[in-house]
């Protein structure tokens, strides 16, 4: 009698009924080939288990523990502290966006986040965060937004590194990109949209060490900076992030909109 | 998660397993933590129905987020990620051979189709029965069985190749 891999695999998991289990036990003793097939599957399974089982012993980053504790402690308060963004057509109800950059933001969550328009070059902070700030071709950041593929890093000036995270089409038809600028321990997360020639910064989130001027005119979203980003992107994204091919094509075409 | 005492503590206790699950799906700590973040937030925003087992609910939510969202965001996936340092950072205590083995397993897992990888994670790593996995994934038990056996066959081949290479 021959047994399929499915049966053997189920045997390894103890998922067959008693009669089948003992039938295979016997068969294995008499059939070397069957024994070898079973051993092969068993080894693959053991390899996976011994590789992954210990991962649950790794320490869970504190930010997740804080997230659960804080949210459980003040479930409603947070929504009201989050800055209102101009309402665009909401995306259809569905799964919340999942951002490759979420981890960057979550690190900052521990530090406390300031929300505002921040100029990563002059260090100047502008509390009027909705005011348009344009990145024009003379700006080192321009190359990051205009020509750098997502997940590629670009050195801006020896101290600052930019890494576009993703590109998307906004509900207003413009192409927009999320980019993380890192300088030392500081991170600024920028979302900018391509105008006719420049990139207009529409959101800037900057991480900063606790105590460093929390009340300097900023509105803080200390509870959860990701909520800010999520809310913003949910409102602004027309659909999912653009794929690498689409993005590359747009870089080639200097982000020209198909409707122009 | 407003139901008084237990849920929050229970979730805290489950976080290490959730993180392991996220890693097994994504293959890097970076992506695992992104997925975990999204999952935890969803769990906090939408409390599980009464009488549901939180762990199962959690894995289900996580898997759905992963399938729905991660797949649709291919930007990162299309870019080679050097995940070796991250994976190595998992386990200071593992020996060199173990690390090599870990890398081989991790790469082999990454080579599996997504739906097979989830089944391997739930059954082989998280220890759920076929019936439980079928419920969590919303698929027939027979499908769990066939995905699992195909996955194991592929893993066996890949690992054998890696060892003779």
Evaluate whether A169 touches A238 at the Cβ level (below 8 Å): yes
Q: What percent of chain B has pLDDT over 90?
A: 60
SS3 for chain A is: CCCCHHHHHHHHCCCCCHHHHHHHHHHHHHCHHHHHHHHHHHHHHHHHHHHHHHHHHCCCCHHHHHHHHHHHHCCCHHHHHCCCCCCCCCCCCCCCCCCCCHHHHHHHHHHCEEECEECCCCCCEECCCCCCEEECCCCHHHHHHHHCCCCCCEECCCCEEEEEEEEEEECCCCEEEEEEEEECCEEEEEEEEECCCCEEEEEEEEECCCCCCCCCCCEECCCCHHHHHHHHHHHHECCCCCCHHHHHHHHHCCCCCCCC
**Residue A121 counted as domain residue:** yes
Residues A214, A183 share a domain = yes
Q: How confident is the model at residue B63 (pLDDT cuts 50, 70, 90)?
A: very high
Chain B closest-CA separation from residue A202 CA (Å): 21
pLDDT at B161: 85
* A149 contact residues in B (CB cutoff 8 A): 79
* A40 contact residues in B (CB cutoff 8 A): 156, 160
Residue that is written with structure tokens 């289990």 in the block? A21
Q: B117 in helix, strand or coil?
A: helix
Residues A83, A210 share a domain = yes
Q: B49 in helix, strand or coil?
A: coil
Residues A92, A39 share a domain = no
- Greater confidence (B91 vs A87) lies with B91
Which chain B residue has the Cα nearest residue A227? Answer: B41
Residues A135, A81 share a domain = yes
pLDDT at A260: 66
* B65 contact residues in A (CB cutoff 8 A): 95-96, 98
pLDDT at A221: 31
pLDDT at A228: 65
Residues A144, A32 share a domain = no
* A58 contact residues in B (CB cutoff 8 A): 16, 19-20, 90-91
Residue that is written with structure tokens 């925003």 in the block? B45
Q: Does A173 touch chain B (CB under 8 A)?
A: no
Local mean pLDDT, 10-residue blocks, chain A (260 residues): 90 95 94 94 94 93 90 46 39 41 39 39 38 75 90 84 86 86 75 88 64 36 50 74 86 84
User: Using CA atoms, how far apart are residues A185 and A61, in angstroms rounded to an integer?
Assistant: 18
Residues A101, A70 share a domain = yes
Residues A66, A134 share a domain = yes
Residues A180, A80 share a domain = yes
Q: How confident is the model at residue B101 (pLDDT cuts 50, 70, 90)?
A: confident
Residue intervals of chain B classified under CATH 1.10.1740 are 1-85
How many domains does one find in chain A? Answer: 2
Which residue in A246, A226, A165, A97 sits closest to B68, CA to CA? Answer: A97
Evaluate whether B64 touches B136 at the Cβ level (below 8 Å): no
DSSP string, B2-43: -SSSHHHHHHHHHHHHHHHHHHHHHSSHHHHHHHHHHHHHHH
Give Cβ neighbours of residue B154 (< 8 Å, ≥ 6 apart): B108, B111, B112, B116
Q: Tell me if B44 and A72 make a contact (CB, 8 A cut-off).
A: yes
User: Using CA atoms, how far apart are residues A75 and B120, in angstroms rounded to an integer?
Assistant: 35
**Residue A259 counted as domain residue:** no
Domain B1-85 coded CATH 3.30.390: no
Which residue in B146, B128, B113 sits closest to B58, CA to CA? Answer: B128
**Beta-sheet pairing, A154-155 with A199-207:** unpaired
Give Cβ neighbours of residue B143 (< 8 Å, ≥ 6 apart): B134
Residue intervals of chain B classified under CATH 1.10.10.10 are 91-165
Interface test with A, best of B110, B133, B152 (most A CBs within 10 A): B152
Evaluate whether A111 touches A208 at the Cβ level (below 8 Å): yes
Q: Each residue of B129-151: pLDDT tens digit?
A: 999 999 999 999 999 999 999 99
Evaluate whether B31 touches A100 at the Cβ level (below 8 Å): yes
**Residue A258 counted as domain residue:** no
Q: Tell me if A51 and B91 make a contact (CB, 8 A cut-off).
A: no
Q: Which CATH class name applies to B91-165?
A: mainly alpha
pLDDT at A133: 76
pLDDT at A206: 67
Domain C-terminal end among A19, A39, A55: A55
Helix (H) or strand (E) holding B144: helix B141-164
- Greater confidence (A85 vs B57) lies with B57
Q: Tell me if B24 and A47 make a contact (CB, 8 A cut-off).
A: no
Average pLDDT in chain B? 83
**Residue A257 counted as domain residue:** no
Question: Both ends of chain B: CA-CA distance in Å?
Answer: 50
What is the residue range of A22's domain?
Answer: 5-55
B38 → closest Cβ in A65, A98, A152: A98
Q: B94 in helix, strand or coil?
A: coil
Q: Tell me if B76 and A100 make a contact (CB, 8 A cut-off).
A: yes
Which residue in A234, A124, A218 sits closest to B41, CA to CA? Answer: A234
Domain C-terminal end among A55, A78, A93: A55
- Greater confidence (B22 vs A202) lies with B22
Q: Tell me if A106 and B37 make a contact (CB, 8 A cut-off).
A: yes
Token pair listed for B52: 């549901």
User: Using CA atoms, how far apart are residues A163 and A254, in angstroms rounded to an integer?
Assistant: 18
**Beta-sheet pairing, A186-194 with A175-183:** antiparallel
């Amino acid at each position: 009698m021959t047994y399929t891999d499915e049966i053997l695999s189920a045997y390894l998991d103890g998922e067959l009924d008693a009669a089948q289990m003992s039938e295979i036990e016997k068969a294995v003793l008499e059939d070397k080939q069957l024994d070898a097939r079973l051993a092969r599957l068993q080894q693959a399974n053991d390899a996976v288990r011994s590789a992954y089982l210990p991962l649950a012993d790794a320490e869970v980053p504190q930010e997740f523990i804080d997230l659960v504790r804080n949210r459980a402690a003040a479930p409603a308060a947070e929504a009201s502290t989050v800055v209102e963004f101009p309402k665009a057509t909401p995306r259809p109800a569905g799964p919340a966006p999942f951002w490759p950059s979420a981890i960057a933001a979550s690190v900052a969550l521990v530090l406390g986040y300031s929300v505002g328009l921040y100029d990563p070059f002059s260090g100047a902070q502008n509390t009027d965060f909705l005011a348009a700030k344009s990145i024009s071709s003379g700006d080192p950041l321009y190359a990051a937004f205009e020509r750098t593929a997502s997940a590629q890093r670009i050195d801006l000036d020896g101290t600052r590194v930019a890494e576009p995270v993703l590109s998307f089409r906004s509900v207003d038809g413009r192409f927009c990109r999320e980019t993380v600028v890192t300088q030392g321990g500081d991170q600024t997360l920028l979302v900018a949209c391509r105008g006719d020639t420049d990139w207009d910064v529409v959101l800037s989130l900057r991480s900063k060490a606790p105590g460093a001027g929390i009340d300097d005119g900023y509105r803080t979203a200390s509870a959860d900076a990701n909520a800010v980003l999520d809310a913003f992107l949910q409102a602004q994204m027309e659909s999912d992030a653009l794929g690498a091919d689409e993005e590359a094509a747009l870089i080639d075409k200097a982000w020209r909109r198909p409707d122009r | 998660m407003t139901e008084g005492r237990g849920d929050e503590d229970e979730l805290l206790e489950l976080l290490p397993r959730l993180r392991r699950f996220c890693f097994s799906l994504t293959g890097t700590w970076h992506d695992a933590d992104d997925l975990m973040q999204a999952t935890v937030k969803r769990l906090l925003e939408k409390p599980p129905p009464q009488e549901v087992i939180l762990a199962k609910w959690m894995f289900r939510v996580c898997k759905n987020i992963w399938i729905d969202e991660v797949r649709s965001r291919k930007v990162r996936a299309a870019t080679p990620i050097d995940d070796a340092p991250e994976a190595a950072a998992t386990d200071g205590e593992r020996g060199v051979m173990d690390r090599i083995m870990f890398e081989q397993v991790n790469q082999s897992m990454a080579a599996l189709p997504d739906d097979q990888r989830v089944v391997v994670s739930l059954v082989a790593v998280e220890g759920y029965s076929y019936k439980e996995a079928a419920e969590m994934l919303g698929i027939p038990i027979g499908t769990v069985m066939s995905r699992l056996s195909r996955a194991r066959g592929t893993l066996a081949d890949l690992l054998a190749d890696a060892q003779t290479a």
